Amino acid sequence: MNRSPVPLALAGAVALVLSAAPAPAPAQMMKTPDASPSKAAPQARGDVQLSFAPVVKRAAPSVVNVYASHVDKRPQARASAMDEFMRRFFGEPGRGRGPSMPGDRAQRSLGSGVIVDDSGLVITNNHVIDNMNEVRIALADRREFEATIVLRDPRTDLAVVRIKNPGSGLVPMPFGDSETLEVGDFVMAIGNPFGVGQTVTQGIVSALARTQVGSSDYQFFIQTDAAINPGNSGGALVDLQGRLVGINTAIYSQSGGSHGIGFAIPAGMVKAVVETAKGGASTVRRPWLGARVQSVTPDIAESMGLDRPTGVLVASLQAKSPAEEAGLKRGDLILSVDGQNVDDPEAFGYRFALKGISGETKFGVLRGTGRTAVTVKLGPAPETRPRDALKVRTRSPFLGATLVNTSPAVAEEMQVDLPGEGVAVQTVEDGSVASRAGLQKGDLIVAINGVAIASTKDLERVTRNTLNMWEVSINRGGEVLTSVFGG
């Protein structure tokens, strides 16, 4: 099995494969079992008319199709005669809906979404609209609207868009409590698989708190066997009361189709992102702990007198951070957040992220052989100095990279350990000089040609002139690497 999760947005052509049903067993091999005394035949017409239809009627009007595109209006080089022929008769590759316009280049993506507010807010997956600049929403009743992107949150793979001038008739879906879900509960997945139109599938909750999926920074997924396929991204996972308990986001698959292993982002995290959008913010701010935690191995658990690995171990603390001010110490074992047990760093990160940026939270901590409670003040990571983002445009190993001054806020957003002062690589364009030079997001620039780099102004000054030789030292994960590049 391919161990990588498959995002569910559609882009490009999709092939459908039909499997043959197995032949029935020969008649002489089939045997009718004796009736079990614990089972009874239906006694009334209603007993054989049970259906999920009432739930679908409540929930389906809230689920929408999301058509996203990125149209590049820049003029293209003159195309060959064959290119012109192909475009005239077959259209632009990957354009999907709508005719091609001369000079346009477009990428398109198809996914699903859920109306969560009667003002027109729709929640979907970030990977559905990633790098897109135009969005259209198609309702279950076939009305279509343009939409604007309100918020993108790559760390959760969630995004919020707003329908323009929706008028009346929107049906928001109420939130359910994903914390009360149990393995074995019935759920339904509603979305637009393979672009065939709104589709409902039914299954059960197969597992909870899955953390090794890898499609976002906050991994705490609901696993279901309800059929989920490409195009279901951003669609609803619904309980039997027609409430939203998750947003479908990924599958394990060898073929790209459903194998009964799908994953949904819990409604608790979805609701936090929606509330941020309702408040008018364009980015999600999360609480800052200022401590690095690590998994508990069987050997560590045994050394601490535990019967099994559980909790997260405090590996390091930042000075003047909420963790240090709360009295946490290196070597403490955090077992719970506000009474909810945590078994690994992913579960801890999810629980802590949901606490918001005001008030306080309590950690259950094992210190030595004794248990204690530690109260941590909640607040966002501070921006201790301006980022002064620098996009390098001169010919150097940094061409195509964006660099920023470090701070706790930058380190928190990038999910890497960074010092309070320095310059870090924020992004690297694919195929750029910086990418070919091997620069990566989170790299800390230590020195260039022997000159120490403490700010983006230092880096801009050093890279202002084109040189024949560049000696660059970076800190990557605590290891200093030095490379030499030709001009």
Known catalytic residues are 127, 157, 233
Please answer whether residues 133 and 148 qualify as being in contact, where contact means their C-beta atoms are separated by less than 8 angstroms.
no
The answer to whether 137 and 65 have CB atoms below 8 angstroms apart is: yes
Place of tokens 């195509």: 400
- Each as own residue / partner, the long-range contacts of residues 202-205 (CB below 8 Å, 24 or more positions apart, any chain) are 202/52, 202/226, 203/227, 203/260, 205/181
- Report long-range pairs for 414-422 (Cβ below 8 Å, ≥24 apart): 414/441, 414/442, 415/155, 415/217, 416/441, 416/442, 417/292, 417/316, 417/477, 417/478, 418/442, 418/444, 419/444, 420/384, 421/385, 421/454, 421/455, 422/446, 422/453, 422/454
Q: How far apart are CA 115 and CA 141, in angstroms?
A: 13
**Known binding positions:** 127, 157, 231-233
Measured CA to CA, the distance from residue 10 to residue 40 in angstroms comes to 46
Q: Would you list which residues are annotated within the binding site for substrate? A: 127, 157, 231-233
**Cβ-based neighbour number of residue 389 at 10 Å:** 13
Instruction: Single out the residue of 125, 122, 11, 113 nearest to residue 64, CA to CA.
Output: 113
Judge whether 309 and 298 are in contact, CB under 8 Å. yes
